[in-house]
Chains A and B, each alone.
Chain A
Amino acid sequence: MKGHITCTICPVGCRISVKKDGNEYVIEGNKCARGKQYAIDELINPTRILTTSIKVNGGSCELASVRTSGPIDLSIIREKMKEIKQISVDAPVSVGQVIVKDIDGKGVSLIATREVPLRRSETTKNGL
């Protein structure tokens, strides 16, 4: 559990300290109400959108950039990166294409954010 959190709601960047007192959270250092909710969310369940790349076979580019379709738990990001490093897909890849369905077990998918067409020689090979 983090002892303090930097609020990212606005540029002020309040350093908010969080203590658990029984079942209650004691929040200090926030200059506004939005900071309190942020601090509780960040403490109980911080989430992030993960962006990275996957290997593409036979594409005009070796990588396709990808992102999670929504935020996933911060705590699983390193583990998910390990899985993503093992994945490869065949070209062509289109923007929005689902690469891994339900990557976090909570309904968030990994989707492509870049179009990767077939490499030119592959195009001829397939008679396209």
Chain B
Amino acid sequence: MKNTKTDVLVVGGGAGGMAAAVSAAKEGAHVILLEREDAVGGVLNQCIHNGFGLQFYQQELTGPEFSYKLEYELRDKDVHVVCGSYVRYIDFSSNSVYVISPSGAQIITAGAIVIATGARERPFGALLIPGDRPAGIFPAGLAQRYVNLENHLPGNRALILGSGDIGLIMARRLTLEGMEVAAVVERMPYPGGLTRNVVQCLEDFGIPLLLSNTVTRVRGNGRLQSVEVSEVDEQFNPVSGKERSFEVDTLILSAGLIPQVEDYVRDLDTDPVNKGLSVSNTCETNVRGVFAAGNNVAVFDLVDYVAAEGWIAGRHAAFNALGKAHQSQRIPVVRKGMVGVLVPNMVDPNEHLRIYLRLKAPMDKGKVIIRELEIEKSFVYGVPSEMIQLVVNKDKLDRIRDLNKLTVEVLS
């Protein structure tokens, strides 16, 4: 068994992890990156559509292109990548990481750790949809993997549950490849994904979007045969008499993402709303020297934000490992009003602050207010699917040094 030492260890080779590894290496740290698949890139590899990179690279890219750019930088910076790896256990008291991979089992002791394990899809089993348990029900990401990487179609005729972006993207993808998409079904009264995707993935192809509807039963012995869809009331309960049946052999689920944090909840704090790890604006968790970035902190709407946060996490992890970190302060950030998801959860006033938030529900107009900083930013029409981002220069944070909290509020 090997014992290895490194300055920075990054767990997860998606957009956040790759960015973290590159930025840590740029600061002069020796970096090891652990990736579960045979190649880095994470979900970007299968997201072959465009719309990525406008912020992080100032150009519109597809997922594989975005990944390719980061991968190039990884090679350029001599980051040591361990593919096909699995983290069995992290001892946070000594920053020892127990890693299993086909090349061997090793204990890697790191000066600092960046956890960038992303999110997973909410599986069918968790949705408690009544009915049979046939083949032909796929989380959207798994279907996307089959179509875009494994060269296989999931079926002939599909219904999509959930109008999150990946559900919309898959509606178009399956249609282009010759499957029929009967409808996209969304239980909320508004679509879960970007308007652009509703137009370009559904309207362009005449695919119906059924708002305030949900799947109430799946039928099929062996393979899926039909799906019952019902209108729902405001409490999301099915309205009796408003059911209809769709003869489909495929059900694609775009029912939300869950931050992958379960392996760490014993040691690291999580935020109950974000359902991800609590972090400061330096991406540090409650345990010093342990950082987190990306969809395991909160589910972000843009990969650009994930990469940007990864970059910050890697930088501070390097400072930490190389003894360049200053003794930082942490002021809790609290939500008020219509604020749902909110990152970060703590602020170190010595560093720039990037705030990401999601509204609890759509709003015609409103404003984001941070009274302690005398910040007020108005917006016209906001939806939960699109994050609102605010950047505060560290020069402005001096005044909050003696405060016990920072309040982020959204009012109409």
Contacts and interface: CB of A to CB of B under 8 A. Distances in A.
A128 interface: no
A67 B200 contact: no
B94 interface: no
Nearest to A71: B50
Nearest to A82: B178
Nearest to B147: A53
A12 B381 contact: yes
A73 to B, nearest CB: 12
A52 B177 CA distance: 9
Given A6-B203, A49-B50, A95 B68 contact: yes
B148 interface: yes
Interface string B363-387: 0000000000000000011110110
B161 to A, nearest CB: 22
B394 interface: no
B105 interface: no
B198 to A, nearest CB: 7
B1 interface: no
A12 B381 CA distance: 5
A21 B286 CA distance: 64
Given A8-B200, A65-B148, A113-B65, A51 B48 contact: yes
A52 B47 CA distance: 10
Contact of B381 (A6, A11, A113, A114): A11
Contacts, number: 71
Given A11-B381, A114-B68, A63 B149 contact: yes
Contacts of A8: 194-196, 199-200
Contacts of B385: 11
Contacts of B177: 52
A13 B198 contact: yes
Contacts of A10: 380-381
A28 B143 CA distance: 40
Interface in A1-42: 5-8, 10-13, 31
B64 interface: yes
Interface in B215-267: none
Interface in B37-82: 45, 48-50, 60-62, 64-65, 68
B126 interface: no
Contacts of B381: 10-12
Q: How large is the interface on A (under 10, 10 to 19, 20 to 34, 35 or more residues)?
A: 20 to 34
Given A11-B383, A48-B204, A63 B151 contact: yes
Given A95-B65, A115-B68, A52 B195 contact: no
Contact of A51 (B62, B68, B195, B203): B62
Contact of A74 (B62, B148, B204): B204
A62 interface: yes
Name the prevailing secondary structure of the B interface residues.
Answer: mixed
Q: How large is the interface on B (under 10, 10 to 19, 20 to 34, 35 or more residues)?
A: 20 to 34
A124 to B, nearest CB: 19
A81 B203 CA distance: 18
Given A11-B381, A53-B148, A6 B48 contact: no
Interface string A40-67: 0000001011011100000001110101
Nearest to B71: A115
B86 to A, nearest CB: 22
Contact of A52 (B48, B61, B198, B200): B48
A6 B204 contact: no
Contacts of A48: 200, 204
Contact of B198 (A6, A46, A63, A114): A6
B176 interface: yes
Given A8-B200, A11-B386, A63 B148 contact: yes
A62 B148 CA distance: 10
Nearest to A46: B204
B155 to A, nearest CB: 18
B48 A11 contact: no
B25 to A, nearest CB: 21
B307 to A, nearest CB: 17
A5 B45 CA distance: 32
Q: Which 6 A-B pairs have the closest CB atoms?
A: A65-B48, A13-B195, A8-B196, A12-B381, A114-B64, A62-B151
Interface of A: 5-8, 10-13, 31, 46, 48-49, 51-53, 61-63, 65, 67, 74, 77, 81, 95, 113-115
Interface of B: 45, 48-50, 60-62, 64-65, 68, 148-149, 151, 176-177, 194-196, 198-200, 203-204, 380-383, 385-386
Given A5-B199, A113-B61, 18 more contacts: A6-B195, A6-B199, A13-B195, A31-B380, A46-B204, A52-B177, A53-B151, A62-B151, A65-B64, A65-B148, A67-B48, A67-B62, A74-B204, A81-B176, A95-B65, A113-B62, A113-B65, A115-B68
28 contacts: A6-B195, A6-B199, A6-B203, A8-B194, A10-B380, A11-B383, A11-B386, A12-B381, A13-B198, A31-B380, A48-B200, A51-B48, A52-B48, A52-B176, A52-B177, A61-B149, A62-B151, A63-B148, A63-B149, A65-B148, A67-B48, A67-B62, A95-B65, A95-B68, A113-B48, A113-B64, A114-B68, A115-B68
